């Protein structure tokens, strides 16, 4: 029996660099396989070659991809795309034609002319297959939720009864509820005997669906975890009470209370759009809340950072999400680190060089980095520099807003480990804002779960996310319990 999909020693290059270097594997009919690997390992590029598609700039450099015994490169067989192989992409919001209604999109992919009276029945059937009601047929993509959009994409991919579905991170852009929806749908597809080729960076969520895992590129390092510290006895450094904040007339945060003790790591966990970043900006004085108070060691702090004293500004530092924007593209690392020494610590010029070396040491960067521009550094290195810049102020509190979400998993765990060590050495209190339950579970002492702008749960991490259970599942339960209350 021939394999449904056979990848033979495939080599793909882009800009003179091999992005897929001699990958081979097979998928048997009815079998489901996950492809995993660090970001930049060419997972998506590999998946697209199964459909005979090379993105701009990618060249086929050797090897072959066979679907049902026929090669897909350089030209796929005519009935392959949409016929034999269906495709589901990463971001459902961008996968659907925004100018066509759901029914039109679905009818078009069936690629056969359907008499007018039978059309609505066919569309209803295709929607029913992915558990969506008929009413959605007349909607445009922007009138659907993320989970619904992705299920419409799956319906379109299934419309011509393919034998293989290529899934490129189909749940990455979705929130927790939509993700569960889509994973359940794909499990049903797999149970119906259709093979899946599932590209993912997050094995935990696909484990229950796939039969086998293929890893390409460098293996990812194990994620980091730390021993929680008992902090109850330590003094409180930062207290926020009743924070309500928003933009214009919409409030994003509602009556949020938060307490931070010295040396503790508090994780603020929540899905995208619940106001986590707003909380970070409120605490660091960049966004003025509508109401609420903030106190630093019992002293009331003004909300606006411009009204805070030098010591107060230095005490709370922010490290942001996007390493690309964190540093000025035309200023060297040295300038970035010197300014806080001048403005916040009033350090004499003679001591700058020594201090910069100490700071770069602390974030495990070589001293040579000091004279580089941010453009010459990788995302992980920039994020370390941003952290060093925050440390340069000698803060008591560092607010980290999704500092690892733009990084691949090995860099992510290295940064988290470093943060944890710095905290132990310097007695820093850290507010770690994240959407990733695994990250929160692995490094935090206490947890604060945000849902629709409110504090849904707060408590010791060990109690809320006991080891041995999937943190993501636990968080979902916590949130569902909360909505029942």
Smallest gap from residue 206 Cβ to other proteins (A):
21
Smallest gap from residue 367 Cβ to other proteins (A):
22
**Mind giving me the DSSP string for 444-459?**
-SEEEEEETTEEEEEE
Calpha distance 263→429 (Å, rounded): 4
Asked if 266 and 445 count as a contact pair (C-beta separation under 8 A), the reply is yes
Residue 403 CB-density burial (10 A; 0-12 exposed, 13-18 middle, 19+ buried)? buried
Nearer residue to other proteins within complex by CB, 111 or 480: 111
Nearer residue to other proteins within complex by CB, 286 or 414: 286
Smallest gap from residue 445 Cβ to other proteins (A):
26
- Name residue, tokens 């679905």: 106
Nearer residue to other proteins within complex by CB, 437 or 479: 479
Which ranges of 166-293 does DSSP label H, i.e. alpha helix? 176-191, 203-206, 276-283
Smallest gap from residue 305 Cβ to other proteins (A):
5
**Residue 243's beta-bridge partner residues?**
256
Smallest gap from residue 471 Cβ to other proteins (A):
28
Between the two ends of the chain, the Cα-to-Cα distance in Å is 55
Asked if 103 and 120 count as a contact pair (C-beta separation under 8 A), the reply is yes
Sign of CA dihedral 411, 417, 422, 428: positive
Nearer residue to other proteins within complex by CB, 80 or 475: 80
Nearer residue to other proteins within complex by CB, 313 or 384: 313
Element (H, E) at 9: strand 5-14
How far is the CA of 77 from the CAs of 9, 30, 323, in angstroms? 20, 21, 43
Q: Would you tell me how many other CB atoms lie within 10 Å of the CB of residue 171?
A: 26
Smallest gap from residue 335 Cβ to other proteins (A):
9
Nearer residue to other proteins within complex by CB, 229 or 305: 305
Nearer residue to other proteins within complex by CB, 153 or 214: 153
Smallest gap from residue 316 Cβ to other proteins (A):
9
Nearer residue to other proteins within complex by CB, 42 or 340: 340
- Given the rule CB under 8 A, which residues bind other proteins? 48, 51, 53, 55-56, 79-83, 86-87, 89, 91, 94-100, 104, 108-109, 111, 140, 142-145, 153, 156-157, 160, 284-286, 305-306, 310, 313-314, 318, 320-322, 324-331, 336, 339-340, 343-344, 386, 389, 393
Asked if 322 and 406 count as a contact pair (C-beta separation under 8 A), the reply is yes
Contacts of 31 (CB under 8 A, 6+ apart): 4, 195, 211, 212
How far is the CA of 450 from the CAs of 97, 255, 268, 321, 443, in angstroms? 33, 11, 7, 18, 18
Nearer residue to other proteins within complex by CB, 144 or 253: 144
Smallest gap from residue 327 Cβ to other proteins (A):
6
Compute CA 471 distance to the chain's CA centroid, rounded to the nearest angstrom. Answer: 15
Smallest gap from residue 330 Cβ to other proteins (A):
5
């Amino acid at each position: 029996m021939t394999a449904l999909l056979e990848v033979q020693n495939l080599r793909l290059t882009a800009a003179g660099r091999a992005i897929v270097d001699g990958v081979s594997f097979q998928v048997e009919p009815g079998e489901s396989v996950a492809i995993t690997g660090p970001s930049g390992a060419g997972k998506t590029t590999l998946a697209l070659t199964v459909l005979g598609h090379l993105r701009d700039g990618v060249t086929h450099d050797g090897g072959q991809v066979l679907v049902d015994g026929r090669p897909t490169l350089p030209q796929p067989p005519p009935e392959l795309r949409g016929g034999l192989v269906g495709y589901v992409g990463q971001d459902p919001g961008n996968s659907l034609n925004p100018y066509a209604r759901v029914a039109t999109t679905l009818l078009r992919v069936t690629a056969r002319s359907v008499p007018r009276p039978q059309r609505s029945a066919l569309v209803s059937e295709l929607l029913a297959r992915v558990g969506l009601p008929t009413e959605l047929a007349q909607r445009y993509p922007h009138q659907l939720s993320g989970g619904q959009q992705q299920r419409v994409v799956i319906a379109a991919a299934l419309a011509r009864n393919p034998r293989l579905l290529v899934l490129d991170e189909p749940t990455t852009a979705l929130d927790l509820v939509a993700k569960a929806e889509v994973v359940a749908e794909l499990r049903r597809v797999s149970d119906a005997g259709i093979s899946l080729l599932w590209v993912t960076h997050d094995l935990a969520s696909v484990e229950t669906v796939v039969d086998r895992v293929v890893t390409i590129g460098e293996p990812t390092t194990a994620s980091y975890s730390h021993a929680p510290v008992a902090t109850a006895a330590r003094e409180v450094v930062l207290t926020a009470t009743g924070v309500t904040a928003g933009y214009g007339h919409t409030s994003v945060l509602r009556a949020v209370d938060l307490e931070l003790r010295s040396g503790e790591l508090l994780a603020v966990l929540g899905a995208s759009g619940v106001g986590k970043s707003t909380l970070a900006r409120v605490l660091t004085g960049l966004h003025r809340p509508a109401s609420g108070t903030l106190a630093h060691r019992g002293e009331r702090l003004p909300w606006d950072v411009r009204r805070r004293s030098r010591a107060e500004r230095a005490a709370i530092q922010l490290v942001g999400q996007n390493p690309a924007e964190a540093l000025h593209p035309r200023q060297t690392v040295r300038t970035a680190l010197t300014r806080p020494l001048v403005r916040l610590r009033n350090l004499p010029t003679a001591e700058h060089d020594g201090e910069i070396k100490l700071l770069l040491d602390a974030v495990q960067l070589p001293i040579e980095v000091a004279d580089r521009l941010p453009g010459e550094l990788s995302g992980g290195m920039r994020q370390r520099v941003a952290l060093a810049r925050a440390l340069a102020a000698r803060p008591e509190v560092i607010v980290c807003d999704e500092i690892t979400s733009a990084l691949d998993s090995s860099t992510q765990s290295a940064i988290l480990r470093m943060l944890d060590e710095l905290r132990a050495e310097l007695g820093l209190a850290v507010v770690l804002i994240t959407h990733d339950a695994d990250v929160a579970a692995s490094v935090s002492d206490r947890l604060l779960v945000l849902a629709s702008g409110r504090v849904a749960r707060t408590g010791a991490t060990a109690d809320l996310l006991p080891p041995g259970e999937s943190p993501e599942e636990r968080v979902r339960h916590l949130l569902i319990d909360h909505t029942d209350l």
